[in-house]
Structure 1
Amino acid sequence: MNKTKTYAVLAALFASACNNQHTMQHEPYQWPDVKAPVATVKPKDVGMFGDKRIDNYYWMADYFFKGPDSNAVVDYLKAENAYTDTMMAGTKTLRDKLFKEMKKRIKEEDESVPYFHNGYFYYTRTIAGKEYYLLCRKKQSLEAPEEILLDVNKMAEGHAYFDISNASISPDNKLLLYGVDTVSRRQYTLHIKDLVTGELKTDQVKDTDGSGEWANDSKTIYYVANNPVTLFSEKIMKHRLGSTTPDELVYEEKDKSNYIGISKTKSERFLFIYSSATMSSEIRYADANAADPVFQVFQPRMKDVLYDIEDQGNRFLVRTNKDARNFRLMETPLDQTGVAHWKDIVPAREDVLLEDVQGFKDFIALSERKNGLIQIHIINTTKHTEHYLDFGEPVYTAYPSVNPDYNSGKLRYGYTSLTTPSSTFDYDMETKQKTLLKEQVIVGGYNKQDYVTERLWATAQDGTRVPVSLVYKKGFKKDGKQPLLLYAYGSYGSSTNASFSSARLSLLDRGFCFAIAHVRGGEDMGRHWYEDGRQMKKKNTFTDFIDCAEFLIAQQYTSKEHLYINGGSAGGLLMGVVVNMRPDLWHGVVADVPFVDVVTTMLDERIPLTTNEFDEWGNPKNKDAYDYMKSYSPVDNVTPKAYPNLLVTTGLHDSQVQYFEPAKWVAKLRVNNTGKNVILLKTNMDFGHGGASGRFDYLKEIALTDAFFLALEGIKE
């Protein structure tokens, strides 16, 4: 679920060597002759509806559930780590080299583009050699003295993992609210810092999702309380600073398939409580200036209708898919919020997906997706004119950035592509002038002209055209003999945008092509793209990916012997399915934190987030859903066959996909693998779903997976 930012470029020695990569002689990596760990078999029937479904490794969940085999689970994972370390020992020099070159591309002393809000400029900056950042501000002018609000490097000392969420300043500018997670389970404790004295308030709130919102009195915070076991977002609570009485319940969500949250509008006039499932939503709103805000329902939840809102002047802006599969923009008066009063501003369009709405005093900025690419659509609400920004590349990503000022006539947006480093622009919505504020610095130099990006179209089994985005270094020969890494996600309506990665240059400069398959299950081509890749149509995601791979082979970008694939979380599910369906098609596979035991997990409501996901995958307590999910669930479909080379990663504290899913999958794969290819499991014993929290540490994880691919390709340097 969910994303990596880095900086970029290799030394000239590597560049010149890799320009002639296709002429180099590669020697296959010699895997050590050692035996893999053998998992204990303890059969358990986990079937339903008379279906006997035996799970030999159900005991591996005991660490999570605090069962009797808890210690045995940890010992087994450590044994797997030792095996992986031994098998990959011959790549240590290469991994060190990859890590150093990736790190070297990063500008160690750097600063974000400041944004202005309520009298202060806010920004983050980094210090050479440090993993984390400083959160800073300056009053009124960038020439003013710097005030360090948080030094995350000092705060993170002694912690293997450290994450700060939702740093939010009170309206009077005197207090800072933020969340801390030191376990990597996305369960945060909220803290409040007095910015006048520099001291922490005694107020602490545990078991939250890390978000929080200030009331306009600067004395009250609203936050989301999570269930400590399931991590389900259950309640919106109100906390008054310094109060010794229990926090007040503002709202409790009864539907366990809904996520909830609290936010304040850009104008700071309204507080919103939102409750949203995959297919429907409901919002409550209140006057943020009231002494004791009372929330009222904007529009009661409607079956299969999603909506979100912004305020603008005397109206609310409503983005909704009511009678509009790709969403439309509507308006309604502040005092008449029911659906009967909604009127079109931008009607529904069959070929354009409306993804996001940013409301300003005199402008509306819309993020739209057409032909798989983001467009930014500006509406001048005083002059009643509209226009689009022009980006000028065949494959790119653009998105609204930090825009806290409701009265501004400028839109700040981010831009990147497979060859363009992340850039920040200010765009004057009146004069149409763009101002580049910053482009990501690639230490050592980087020339985008040395790389080529393409967008191709593969044809799926049912005739659907599926976009594929590619990038490679000039000199790449389309002779079917070159290595190619194919990536996809394809779930939750999350589109995979083509963005720049400096870490990726380590593969590109060694002769790899990198490709993204924009498979169904995301929203890359519109809402129908998502609907055709979820629940009882989920298999389209998997067959699309296979069809994209075969298309790239047919076009001679690569061959089976040189084709590598990668996906994480729900993308890891994709990896698990396609290695069962077409084990012959891939030379190497990296499945990161993969969701591979679909039926067992979705049947167990003790596991975090399960109930929230029924709209995505289906509820296997329904026989039709059970049968369909079982028909593709990777663990359930492992059979004796020659599997490709596999590296599977997980985190012991993963809150999204528990460690035992990939552990069980690897154990079952080993028993059933009739070939000689390697199957490796790497468990990070300190981290969770997102991996390492520092800006350098995560590069070691990338170096490991890159070294796995390079070893299989026979590239040693």
Structure 2
Amino acid sequence: MTAEAATPEPRVPEPARRVPSERTHHGDTFVDHYDWMRDKENPDVVEYLTRENSYTDAVTGHQQPLRDAIFAEIKERTQETDLSVPSRKKGWWYYARTEEGRQYAIQCRVAAEETGDPTRDWTPPEVVPGQPVPGEQIMLDGNLLAEGKPFFSLGGLAVTEDGTLLAYSEDNAGDERFTLRIKDLASGELLPDEVPHVFYGLAFSPDGSRVYYTVVDDSWRPYQVKAHVLGTPVADDVVVYQEDDVAMWTGFEISADRSRLMISIGHSEYSEYRVLDLARPDAGLRTLISRDERILYDAEPVTVAGVPHYLLTHNRDAKNSMVSLVAADQFSLPLAEQAWTTIIPHDDAVRVDGLSLTRTHVVLSVRRNTIDRVQVLPLDGLGTPEQFLPAEPDFDEELFTSNLANAEFDSPVIRLSYTSYLTPPRVYDYVLQDGSLLLRKETEVLGGYDSTQYVAERQWAPAADGTLIPLSVVRPAELVRDGTNPAVVYAYGSYEVSMDPGFSIARLSLLDRGIIFVTAHVRGGGEMGRSWYEQGKKLAKKNTFTDFVDATSYLVGSGWADEHRIAAIGGSAGGLLMGAVANLAPEKYRAIVAQVPFVDALTTILDPELPLSALEWEEWGNPITDPEVYRYMKEYTPYENVRPVAYPRIAAVTSFNDTRVLYVEPAKWVAELRRTTTGTEPIVLKTEMDGGHGGASGRYSRWRDVAWDYAFAADAIGATDRVDSDRVDSARVDSAREASDDVQDSPS
């Protein structure tokens, strides 16, 4: 291309206005020049974000063909007209289906048979995508509800025990404030009942006379559980429980046997349950184990030999948690005097994440060797010497995820989900009586997907302190370990959340361009048990960041990745990780995509009035009261540690209505990065003006969001073209040469 024909470089926007604002804590004063952007109602803020979006469009405009190609590949590989495997509840089979060209799912049901043959009665009806379903009743069509609205998301669905009423809640702004409505499924009409400003989670009482829901306070913390009696004014809704500790999160569920309302209060370090007997609601709430005991636990009522008990999943003298059986009357005694029977003992190598119940079995969720697994234990003989050993469904892949999808209390089967990096999602029914697995569905990948064209394997990267960091490495099978390959490294690393193996149609678009996709299971996540989490939180948080950098160094040193062709991606707390590694080792990354990034963490957590801030103290520490936490966080919080170095190209992606990570954090960060960097790589801010924490709503919109992020990364690392297996070597070398030339020619 001639110089005359070259497209001119987009003009960098006028720098953001700087207005000094002081923040002083523990004798330290930080001057924040961009905090004026916090005022969402300020027209200057909207104008600034709009201007930045225009610049982002200009800088990344040449990536549009690649974005279109990735979007098309996702669409072409996806069975757009599809449905979930029906799940039975009482007299109905419930399922969701999608239709080609439509953004949202349609919630449906068909009547179930009752023949007396358990096998037949619990075999889901065969429903073929795209074909009419005899007797189908559409309960809720998300496409119709979303018409004319800038955003649409469901916050909860619940059906009465007799199947006559549906409760649902919808958000039309992306701010996670939902409106609760009740629908008569016989007539299709909405009841007059309408409850605004509810949070996630809905449940009907067993008799269907009332619906339970949660409410958030001004800082977006769920703090109330309320009950709405159908047919009564919303103003009369009763507060069943209110939690006033600003550091505690409140939620609820109806117990598996439908006998109790279980209200859970807690955070990552300890919890408390308040229980309401739904047969005797006037008796009030009963506390099981007080938060004062500092035990982190979950509880589920169960009747054993005719006696009311609770199954506790807890960390009492058990860092990785264990399961105990406790008679209900024991909770009236001091903790030291209570009799607890061990059901699943503590194991340093196995993390017990929780349990569910059917009428006959306990279903356990455990993690061993990083892998999430399901175990099943009969209730018969529970807590006695005759107790059975847990059984575990057997799968033949090294890296997989197996989860409980549904355990209807009276069902002779439980529904399991299964997936891996190479296996599209499967749905199994596990027969409780004999342990057999019945495959109900494997998600179809269109276009001739062949899993043998790819490899998924576990590698271990040494951290500076000698800790081995597990990596999940997915790559095209044809790639050669010659140091020329492009790579995308992804991680999260907070809240004990594990990045489990899972199939991704979108990821195939990266793999087919010769890119190695690596998930770094850094400390702060839950992949290696509770200790792994504790080694990456509070005053050990920096391990999360250095682990990611060490994992990147390992990929280069192992010969799998070209040091000039690595992009990093992370979102939310993983976006904080992206900001931290950008400051820590900017030279190691050709590009960084920070999705809804928590990059101004110290400012946010210092203000308990901001959404969810006080709840963060148990993850990061409390910098308001603890000067050591303040000092430690100030050393890594990304916005306050931007320095004069050559930063890689960076995309900060956010949403104007996000209530979890406010748009102001990436907006300020980008302004400071652009002012401070000594390099010439573009640093852009992309704001979805109608989205929430997850971006825009609707599946096609989400696919376009993913395509945007992936195109930004792939373009930076010189991997924009699909690579056929018969020309992989030459294409890889050519792309590597071009990317390396770009790096050498760039002033950065």
Bin of the TM-score, shorter chain as denominator length: over 0.9
Give 1:17's aligned residue: none
TM-score for both structures, normalised by structure 2? 0.89
Secondary structure at the aligned position of 2:194 is classed as: strand
Please give the alpha-carbon distance, in whole angstroms, between the structure 2 residues aligned to 1:715 and 1:568. Answer: 22
Give 1:410's aligned residue: 413
Determine whether 1:377 maps to 2:375: yes
Give 1:613's aligned residue: 616
Give 1:56's aligned residue: 33
Residue 213 of structure 1 aligns with an amino acid whose one-letter code is: A
Determine whether 1:591 maps to 2:594: yes
Give 1:124's aligned residue: 96
Please give the alpha-carbon distance, in whole angstroms, between the structure 1 residues aligned to 2:162 and 2:516. Answer: 52
Determine whether 1:391 maps to 2:380: no
Aligned-pair CA distance for 1:390: 1.6
Please give the alpha-carbon distance, in whole angstroms, between the structure 2 residues aligned to 1:711 and 1:144. Answer: 48
Give 1:366's aligned residue: 364
Please give the alpha-carbon distance, in whole angstroms, between the structure 1 residues aligned to 2:352 and 2:546. Answer: 27
Determine whether 1:521 maps to 2:510: no
Give 1:174's aligned residue: 164
Secondary structure at the aligned position of 1:313 is classed as: strand
Equivalent positions of 1:259-408 (< 5 A) are: 259-290=249-280, 292=282, 294-314=284-304, 315-337=309-331, 339=335, 340-382=338-380, 384-386=387-389, 387-403=391-407, 405-408=408-411
Aligned-pair CA distance for 1:490: 0.3
Equivalent positions of 1:675-714 (< 5 A) are: 675-714=679-718
Give 2:659's aligned residue: 655
Alpha carbons 2:571, 2:596 under 8 Å: kept: yes
Secondary structure at the aligned position of 2:299 is classed as: strand
Aligned-pair CA distance for 1:509: 0.3
Alpha carbons 1:190, 1:210 under 8 Å: kept: no
**Larger RCO: 1 or 2 (CA < 8 Å, sep 6+):** 1
Of 70-79 and 369-378, deviating more is 369-378
Identify which of 536, 543, 558 aligns with 1:533: 536
Give 1:237's aligned residue: 226
Determine whether 1:466 maps to 2:469: yes
Secondary structure at the aligned position of 2:200 is classed as: strand
Please give the alpha-carbon distance, in whole angstroms, between the structure 2 residues aligned to 1:265 and 1:75. Answer: 49
Of 285-294 and 176-185, deviating more is 285-294
Alpha carbons 2:565, 2:718 under 8 Å: kept: no
**Structure 2 vs 1, CA of residues 716 and 354 (structure 1 numbering), >3 Å: closer, same or farther?**
closer
Secondary structure at the aligned position of 1:47 is classed as: strand
Give 1:224's aligned residue: 214
Residue 133 of structure 1 aligns with an amino acid whose one-letter code is: A
**Structure 2 vs 1, CA of residues 451 and 293 (structure 1 numbering), >3 Å: closer, same or farther?**
farther
Please give the alpha-carbon distance, in whole angstroms, between the structure 1 residues aligned to 2:505 and 2:134. Answer: 33
Residue 495 of structure 1 aligns with an amino acid whose one-letter code is: S
Residue 499 of structure 1 aligns with an amino acid whose one-letter code is: G
Alpha carbons 1:37, 1:83 under 8 Å: kept: no
Aligned-pair CA distance for 1:382: 2.0
Aligned-pair CA distance for 1:222: 1.6
CA deviation string 1:230-253 (max 9, x = no partner): 222121112111113521121110
Residue 606 of structure 1 aligns with an amino acid whose one-letter code is: E
Secondary structure at the aligned position of 1:46 is classed as: strand
Identify which of 174, 181, 187 aligns with 1:191: 181
Please give the alpha-carbon distance, in whole angstroms, between the structure 2 residues aligned to 1:385 and 1:31. Answer: 72
Q: Which runs of 5+ in 1 are unaligned?
A: 1-28
Of 483-492 and 312-321, deviating more is 312-321
Residue 380 of structure 2 aligns with an amino acid whose one-letter code is: T
CA deviation string 1:332-387 (max 9, x = no partner): 11333354232211111111100121222222121111111123222123263222
Equivalent positions of 1:366-515 (< 5 A) are: 366-382=364-380, 384-386=387-389, 387-403=391-407, 405-515=408-518
**Structure 2 vs 1, CA of residues 542 and 704 (structure 1 numbering), >3 Å: closer, same or farther?**
same
CA deviation string 1:566-625 (max 9, x = no partner): 000000000000110111111111000000111111111221100111101111112111
Residue 525 of structure 2 aligns with an amino acid whose one-letter code is: G
Give 1:13's aligned residue: none
Please give the alpha-carbon distance, in whole angstroms, between the structure 1 residues aligned to 2:404 and 2:292. Answer: 29
Q: CA RMSD in A?
A: 1.5
Aligned-pair CA distance for 1:32: 2.4
Please give the alpha-carbon distance, in whole angstroms, between the structure 2 residues aligned to 1:398 and 1:220. Answer: 35
Identify which of 535, 560, 564 aligns with 2:563: 560
Determine whether 1:100 maps to 2:72: yes
Give 1:26's aligned residue: none
Give 1:7's aligned residue: none
Residue 243 of structure 1 aligns with an amino acid whose one-letter code is: T
Determine whether 1:43 maps to 2:20: yes
Of 570-579 and 472-481, deviating more is 472-481
Alpha carbons 1:180, 1:210 under 8 Å: kept: no
Residue 361 of structure 1 aligns with an amino acid whose one-letter code is: R
Aligned-pair CA distance for 1:559: 2.4
Equivalent positions of 1:22-171 (< 5 A) are: 32-63=9-40, 66=41, 70-141=42-113, 142=125, 145-171=135-161
